[in-house]
Amino acid sequence: MKDSTPQPTRLADYQPYPFRIEKTDLTFRLDPKATRVLSRIRFHPNPARPGRHDLRMDGERLRLIAARIDGAPVTARPDETGLTIPADALPDGAFDFEAEVEIDPSANTALEGLYMSGGMYCTQCEAEGFRRITFYPDRPDVMAPFHVRIESDMPVLLSNGNPVAQGEGWAEWDDPWPKPSYLFALVAGDLVAVRDSFTTRSGRKVDLAIWVRAGDEDRCAYAMDSLKRAMKWDEDVYGREYDLDVFNIVAVDDFNMGAMENKGLNIFNSKLVLASPETATDADFERIESVIAHEYFHNWTGNRITCRDWFQLCLKEGLTVFRDQEFTKDMRSAPVKRIEDVLMLRARQFREDMGPLAHPVRPESYIEINNFYTATVYEKGAELIGMLKLLVGDEGYRRALDLYFERHDGQAATIEDWLKVFEDATGRDLAQFKRWYTDAGTPRLKVEEDWQPGDQGGTYTLTFTQHTPPTPGQDEKPPRVIPIAVGLLNPNGDEILPTTVLEMTEERQSFSFPGLATRPVPSILRGFSAPVVLERESSFDERTFLLAHDTDPFNRWEAGRSLARDVLLSMIRDDAAPSEPHAQALARLVTDDTLDPAFRALCLRLPSEDDLAQALADAGTTPEPERIHTVREGLATYLARQLQKDLVRIYEEMETPPPYSPDAASAGRRALRLAALGYLNRIDHGARAASLFASADNMTESAAALACLIDGGRGAREIAAFYERWKDNRLVIDKWFALQVAHAQPDMAAQVAARLAEHPDFEWKNPNRFRALMGALAANHAGFHHISGAAYRFYADWLIRLDPVNPQTTARMSAAFETWTRYDAERRAMIRAELGRIRQTPDLSRDTFEMVSRILAAEKA
């Protein structure tokens, strides 16, 4: 470890900063190796912290050239983490602090602060990157208007806010909206703009620009269109207008995350901007649309109203994810989007919540905040907003949001503020609801049923019991309020009770439905109304019934999903044969032409190997990765044979005529067609995949066909051809790396990964490239967990290598090991050894140290 004992930061220790900032002025004299940053910050005493206080500012890896207070030099010596000017060296009242520091962007491989990517300068300041740019109170509750001057011979010079002046070799920007330092951004480079404009509903004309490298202009249209739709949607649905004259987006190749909502100057990982039919898949297009919207929506939920401290991260992220999910539902198919979101939630957040990395949506302490940009904060955080909306109703939600914007605009707020707004706008008491923010873990919901026939009709009763297993540091889990959406069907398949939200508040609670002619079939947790695990024994027949008749599309899909899961689990555990009735039910569904193709495609998707491992571990069986793999492959091949005729017909009928269009309907047809291909590929010796690969005019089909060929142990020629065609396109070559590893046979995965890591194009310092290869290995469940341990070793070797270069990405990727306690003693011993080896690495970053320590701590449990 670099710092001997990293100290946790605690929510309970929060104190306001002793000073407020009236104005922040920055001048950048850019130079790749020696950039000078001049700052002038106008401080005032903060009445919230009476008395005299030292001026403590954060700062890391900065060379201090000079510092002044009100123009007079001060001798201040920075330490490892910042600079302190003692209270007695400060004037009473307001004062100016000025500093000149030197930084080295070209040496910045961590991609936090000011760094270089592909010859351009760019910044990433969330969460604590600004302290690598200059001395500053680098915390979200210190907000200030910024004025920025950039001096550089780069042709394009950008910062936050509105452009105010520019000349040969310089430009000035002014951002009138007070903001915390994490929203600061600067870009300087040889870039070209794709331009458009948007007129807000009150008539402000906003110049929109997407800045890319020359040659990439023709891949920005979808991002631009998405932006304009997002701007319009936020006006229509939330009444929120944009508030500057310009909105700039910059695409960069080296980026740790997806994208960043810097005020007026969003910076994006280029994979979330650049798309053309030939280079991007349908999934890429959909993701671009949603992330462009997400970052734009942050302008209100995150920027105008920000977080008091980083414990409140879900205040902006949960809400903004919820908003981008709603947006996608309005742009595309709502049920399909809901299913996709729940699949993701279960695969990533439930997995996190059940393991050693479980933490509350609002954590109470952290060592490195970068480690808390998690599925729990983001995706579970969004689920909490969805539950609130269900509980208070659509109108209550809108009133609460209006009040939130009105009351907290310009502030740095907390989850308490957020909940208070809902209480004040709707009169509800949300004390119990708050547990969703403070308590980690996924509740288990058991259901019992009772039917009492009677003269006035029978009474049907549902009794629910909730229980949340302990999580690290939290043993006691009091009951939470759970909104349970239910509907009832009669045996003919007619809905006799439309969706109704039951509010469960007790540990055990019953709800009765009197006056029913016959015993109903219940449809429980419709739309996945709460992020819980529903534990309900239900018969095969009941689930095929719901699969055929449920009026709630989510639960209809869920019925099929749970059928497939149970078939797989009994094949794995009891050597059972595949189920013919399951195959028949599936066939009926996927051939139902009244259903959306995208929905049918989702119904064809089997639970993943990781899902199955989790389900087994949950039920007390140690998962065997190779067995899971073999059985799942076996079921897929069985279904391919059983459904062959239908699948062939689907494959033919769902062909989409050129030209390619990324719209939801066409994408849905392709998804269904490619799902059919995935099955048929098991019995046609790769014939369809080979011919599709040869004829495809779009990346969706090329990539899927190539994956099929690799799955079947074929495709050497196609892999080579794909490389030749795309070797100059980084984003496509990322796919080339990922596909080969993700689809490698389990006993070959580590070898394939190791061979590709030797490839001259494996630029491992680029996070996208590193994730393409290593992320694909971690996602190849049977390959990663192969009993040789080769993948564990290889993966750990690379984490150790990346850590000194890029701690943030290393730490995130160490989560591949978070499920380790699920497995057998031999695998556990191997993983423990690798985790131990990582932790022992000299000078390990505190990011990775914290993650690996938390993962290892699962041992005791």
Q: Where along the sequence are the contacts to Zn ion (CB under 5 A)? A: 317, 320
Point out which span in 258-266, 276-284, 722-730, 743-751 binds ligand PHE (CB under 6 A). Answer: 258-266
Which option in ligand PHE, Zn ion, none does residue 742 bind, with CB closer than 5 to 8 A by kind? none
Are residues 502 and 486 in contact, defined by beta-carbon separation less than 8 angstroms?
Answer: yes
Q: How far apart are CA 773 and CA 522, in angstroms?
A: 45
Closest CA to 46 of 97, 99, 93, 98: 93
Which option in Zn ion, ligand PHE, none does residue 552 bind, with CB closer than 5 to 8 A by kind? none
Which option in ligand PHE, Zn ion, none does residue 259 bind, with CB closer than 5 to 8 A by kind? ligand PHE
> Regarding beta strands 246-252 and 205-212, do their DSSP bridges make them parallel or antiparallel, or are they unpaired?
parallel
Which option in ligand PHE, Zn ion, none does residue 126 bind, with CB closer than 5 to 8 A by kind? ligand PHE
Q: Which of residues 745-784 bind ligand PHE (CB under 6 A)?
A: none
Least Å distance, CB 701 to ligand PHE, is: 30
Q: Which of residues 302-321 bind ligand PHE (CB under 6 A)?
A: 317
Which option in Zn ion, ligand PHE, none does residue 260 bind, with CB closer than 5 to 8 A by kind? ligand PHE
Q: Which is nearer to ligand PHE, 556 or 846 (CB)?
A: 846
Are residues 643 and 586 in contact, defined by beta-carbon separation less than 8 angstroms?
Answer: yes
- For residue 406 the two structure tokens come to 């009105």
* Rounded alpha-carbon distances, angstroms, from residue 523 to 25, 71, 496, 520, 537: 59, 71, 11, 9, 13
Q: How far apart are CA 109 and CA 418, in angstroms?
A: 37
Of these, 110, 260, 390, 675, which contacts ligand PHE (CB under 6 A)?
Answer: 260
Q: Which is nearer to Zn ion, 302 or 662 (CB)?
A: 302
Q: Please count the residues of this chain forming the interface with ligand PHE, following the rule CB under 6 A.
A: 11
Which option in ligand PHE, Zn ion, none does residue 373 bind, with CB closer than 5 to 8 A by kind? ligand PHE
> Regarding beta strands 144-151 and 19-29, do their DSSP bridges make them parallel or antiparallel, or are they unpaired?
parallel
Q: Per rule CB under 6 A, is residue 249 in the interface with ligand PHE?
A: no
Q: Per rule CB under 6 A, is residue 35 in the interface with ligand PHE?
A: no
Q: Which is nearer to Zn ion, 320 or 848 (CB)?
A: 320
Which option in Zn ion, ligand PHE, none does residue 739 bind, with CB closer than 5 to 8 A by kind? none
- For residue 677 the two structure tokens come to 């291909």
Instruction: Find the catalytic residue in 60, 126, 295, 379.
Output: 295
Least Å distance, CB 548 to ligand PHE, is: 40
> Regarding beta strands 482-489 and 444-452, do their DSSP bridges make them parallel or antiparallel, or are they unpaired?
unpaired
- For residue 343 the two structure tokens come to 């699949």
**295 in catalytic set:** yes
Which option in Zn ion, ligand PHE, none does residue 599 bind, with CB closer than 5 to 8 A by kind? none
- Cβ neighbours of 537 (radius 10 Å): 9
One-letter identity of residue 303: N
Q: Tokens 């795309």, residue? A: 726
Q: Which of residues 330-349 bind ligand PHE (CB under 6 A)?
A: none
Least Å distance, CB 257 to ligand PHE, is: 4
Contact characters 265-304, ligand PHE, x per CB under 6 A:
-----------------------------xx---------
Q: Per rule CB under 6 A, is residue 257 in the interface with ligand PHE?
A: yes
Q: Which is nearer to ligand PHE, 103 or 257 (CB)?
A: 257
Least Å distance, CB 269 to ligand PHE, is: 9
Q: Which is nearer to ligand PHE, 211 or 795 (CB)?
A: 211
> Regarding beta strands 120-124 and 113-117, do their DSSP bridges make them parallel or antiparallel, or are they unpaired?
antiparallel
Are residues 280 and 271 in contact, defined by beta-carbon separation less than 8 angstroms?
Answer: no
- For residue 231 the two structure tokens come to 């701007």
Helix, strand or coil, per DSSP, at residue 207: strand
Q: Which is nearer to ligand PHE, 316 or 480 (CB)?
A: 316
* Rounded alpha-carbon distances, angstroms, from residue 105 to 33, 93, 119, 845: 6, 36, 11, 20
Q: Which of residues 119-138 bind ligand PHE (CB under 6 A)?
A: 124, 126-127
Q: Per rule CB under 6 A, is residue 259 in the interface with ligand PHE?
A: yes
Q: How far apart are CA 108 and CA 88, in angstroms?
A: 36
H or E, element range at 177:
strand 170-179
Q: Which is nearer to ligand PHE, 326 or 701 (CB)?
A: 326
Q: How far apart are CA 499 and CA 484, in angstroms?
A: 10
Residue 601 half-sphere exposure toward CB, CA atoms < 13 A: 23
Least Å distance, CB 849 to Zn ion, is: 26
- For residue 501 the two structure tokens come to 């939200």
Backbone angles phi, psi at 387, to 5 degrees: -65, -40
Q: How far apart are CA 634 and CA 568, in angstroms?
A: 10
Q: Which is nearer to ligand PHE, 316 or 669 (CB)?
A: 316
Least Å distance, CB 140 to ligand PHE, is: 11
Helix, strand or coil, per DSSP, at residue 434: coil
Least Å distance, CB 486 to ligand PHE, is: 34
Closest CA to 331 of 362, 292, 380: 292
Contact characters 366-395, ligand PHE, x per CB under 6 A:
-------x----------------------
Least Å distance, CB 142 to Zn ion, is: 20
One-letter identity of residue 791: A
Q: Tokens 């699949």, residue? A: 343
Summary count for the chain: helices (H), strands (E): 29, 30
- Residues interacting with ligand PHE, by CB under 6 A? 124, 126-127, 257, 259-261, 294-295, 317, 373
Which are the catalytic amino acids? 295
